[in-house]
A and B are shown apart, each in its own frame.
Chain A
Amino acid sequence: MSAGWASGLPKEPDPQPTVTPTEPSPTPRADQSALPGIFDLGLVFVTGKGGVGKTTIAGGLALAAAQQGKRVLVCEADSKGDLSSLFEVAPTTFDARQVTDGVWAMSMDTEASLREYLKLNLKIPIMGRIGPLAKAFDFVATAAPGVREILTVGKLCYEVRERNYDLVVVDAAASGHIVSQLAAPQAINELVKVGLIRTQTDWMLDILSNPWKTGLVAVTTPEEMPVSETLELAARVAAETTVRLAGVVVNRVLPELFGHSEEAVFEELRQPAAVGAMSEAAGGDVEPVLEGARLAVTMRRTRSAHLERLRSGLDPSTPVLLLPYLFSRTYGLRTTGQVAAALTEELGV
């Protein structure tokens, strides 16, 4: 699968087949209701503020799509190694490896991407020269934001173009960085008028701007900062990139403990006389347990308000998927399965 992501470039002068003839002509901001669901896309970037569970959702999405019979590649963009723990496998590498039925995993590595790129496009003998070249590249990439993304996002676009997988899920950069990454091919396209990179940004943009092919999924939690950041992200994605926001996943939604009549009874149960009677019958103080429920109810209420703010701030056609808080002991394949099941249910497939 990793045998040469850039190998198609010189051989294929007309990189158009990303849009199949049956599809309507792509417009960047097409009506969402006519657009495919997340599982029917070819390339999905998963982003979110730090700490909201971005990697977990990316892994869950990949697993859920695989359970629908798709061949899925899941890629970790900033290799912190969390993806491998979701599937309980050895750390992911640049070369994709199968981690479970229908799911292959890899981690992005700029230097490995560059190595492949050079090997295939420039016929450069790799040994001995890659060190200084990689440094030089690092240097140019630091100076000119966007050059790095041409390689990393380019590798992913390539996998889509070659149809090596049905779906590529990217555990992408956090919401603070994703916009400049997704906008990079366009920015470079404007700066660089000739050369290999120009050719590459042309076909990358064809894939990224196609709402039938590519989508962004923003992960958030029902809390103040994550919701605010998600709304800001939605606005920036629309204004600064050609990528469609295909959905918002709200992670860690607390269950509703009880409705109105139950709450009235709960208040009665919290009266000192009732607490005393129940404690006697239970053989221990029930007060802390009731206090725990009160905290859960208050937490849920605060979070509901943020959820409302999120819904009213988003375009009504953007799907909002709610994922329950997982009261789990640990993280691993079992919880990834729970996330996948919840996502499948929310997506109604």
Chain B
Amino acid sequence: MASSERRAKSSAPAGGGEPRQRGRAAGWRAPRGSLDGLVASREIVIACGPGGVGKTTTAAAIAAMAACHHGGRVLVVTVDPAKRLADALGLSGIGNTETRIPDSVFEAAGFTPRGELWAAMLDMKESWDALVRRHAPDAETREQILANPLYKTISGRFVQSQDYMAMERLYEIHSEGKYDLIVVDTPPTRNALDFLDAPQRMADFFSSRLLRWLIVPYRSKLINFASKPFYQVADRILGTQFLADISEFFILFQSMYDGFVARAETVTRLLSDRRTTFVVISTLEATPVREAEFFATELVRRDLNLGAIVLNKVLPSYFRSTKNISVAKTMAERAKDLVERLDVDRPLAARVLSDVAESFLNFSVVARREAEQQDELSTSAEVLATVPFFDADIADMEGLLRLGEKLWT
């Protein structure tokens, strides 16, 4: 646990304009079931959830907070951070290389971290090449694969291979044992669950019976009786040359099969290890909530550790208070009376006041809908963290730590 002095330095109010809150009561401790406590007891945090909810930024904030307060070496593996944030942290163009965020970035935010914060991006081409180098049985096959034109297309666009690569990289880095904590931001996918199945799917892919069917005609001149109808159909749809190109590619790739399968199994084991926890991130908009809910249920069903649910961009609770709502109604109805005794442009003030009240009531409708959705979601995880709407985008370390403070408490 961080000393209260260090902690105090990082605490900042969410709203702009207000004076910075300095210090917090000495001996302050994280309450039970906080994200602080959860992260402190794990080696791997996997940030997941629907797209467009601030997943990448939240993952970076968790890592930055851990580096600040828990110390040690913390790595965040990220996919696609907002450009200004990436620039501010010096991440632009670092690729797969793990890069240390200099302490000066923290110091500019008024903070001295206890530990080190490292970051790496996920570069698909580099990751694929590394994978081929690792699993290719010999130098000749390796070079043939790397030079294959189909491989070049596929390594950039291979369907869902981002998922696999994120998990593959996680395993590789974790097994090197260089970091105390690794926070992984999962790639945006059509189905948030895809990456869980990615290692298995990759193994299935290379063990497919159909793959063997596809390859047989090129290995021997004898077309297997069972594969004949398939081959004829495929030939008519795709054309012979294209099929031959695909087959050559897979013949080369099949030589890496054993390596892939063994690796996929180990990665799957790592995901269900107690040292790993999942943090589901969402907003309270209808569609993300539905996806997050499904995701949380699925994690539990698979016996994976659903550590926390983080809700971003939550409207302040004052919008939900029945007392405030009734005052707003009065303001809307009796705006004229309310400004009666004030020394202002009264007709204008009355109009402003009624607009203000209407706006409040509008936001209240949304806030109450959100509150209901929050209740439904929060039952499944041991930790629930909510983050309010921020006035400005998070574009630097100070912003990240400001977000982090909200997450931690």
Contacts and interface: CB of A to CB of B under 8 A. Distances in A.
Interface of A: 49-53, 55, 78, 80, 82, 118, 122, 124, 129, 132-133, 135-136, 139-145, 147, 173-174, 176-177, 180, 187, 191-198, 223-226, 228, 255, 257-258, 261-262, 265-266, 268-269, 274, 277-279, 281-286, 288-293, 295-296, 298-299, 302, 327-331
Contact of A269 (B285, B349, B360, B362): B349
Contacts of B188: 50, 174, 176
Q: Which of B51, B230, B234, B285 has the most CB of A within 10 A?
A: B51
Contact of A192 (B53, B191, B239, B393): B239
Contacts of B363: 292, 295-296, 327
A281 B340 CA distance: 9
Contacts of A55: 287
B205 A142 contact: yes
A284 B318 CA distance: 14
10 contacts: A50-B50, A136-B233, A139-B205, A142-B205, A144-B150, A174-B190, A228-B82, A262-B351, A281-B334, A292-B360
Contact of B341 (A118, A132, A265, A277): A277
Nearest to B191: A78
Contacts of A136: 210, 213-214, 230, 233-234
B159 A261 contact: no
B274 interface: no
B359 A145 contact: no
Contacts of B353: 269, 278
A140 B234 contact: yes
Contacts of A296: 359, 363
Consensus secondary structure, chain A interface:
helix
A144 B369 contact: no
Given A274-B342, A284-B327, A49 B391 contact: no
Contact of A195 (B82, B239, B362): B239
A143 B250 contact: yes
A141 B363 CA distance: 46
A122 B213 CA distance: 20
B239 A293 contact: no
B238 A225 contact: no
Contact of B50 (A51, A53, A180, A290): A51
Given A52-B52, A223-B393, A295-B363, 4 more contacts: A122-B237, A193-B241, A197-B239, A268-B342
A302 B395 CA distance: 13
Contacts of B190: 78, 173-174, 177
A208 to B, nearest CB: 18
A302 B313 CA distance: 14
Given A118-B233, A224-B82, A225-B52, A82 B287 contact: yes
Given A223-B393, A257-B359, A51 B338 contact: no
Interface residues of B, number: 84
Nearest to B230: A136
B389 A295 contact: yes
Contact of A281 (B338, B356, B395): B338
Contact of B349 (A122, A265, A291): A265
B389 A293 contact: no
A298 B393 CA distance: 12
Contacts of B316: 291-292, 295
Contacts of A288: 318, 321, 324, 327
Given A176-B188, A327-B362, A289 B50 contact: no
A289 B327 contact: yes
A265 B236 contact: no
B204 to A, nearest CB: 10
A286 B245 CA distance: 72
A258 B238 CA distance: 61
B324 A133 contact: no
B177 interface: no
Contacts of B211: 139
Contacts of A197: 237-239
A287 to B, nearest CB: 9
Contacts of B324: 284-285, 288-289, 292
A132 B109 CA distance: 59
A145 B158 contact: yes
B331 A286 contact: yes
Contacts of B240: 194
B230 A132 contact: yes
B239 A51 contact: no
A51 to B, nearest CB: 3
Given A118-B233, A139-B210, A327-B366, A299 B84 contact: no
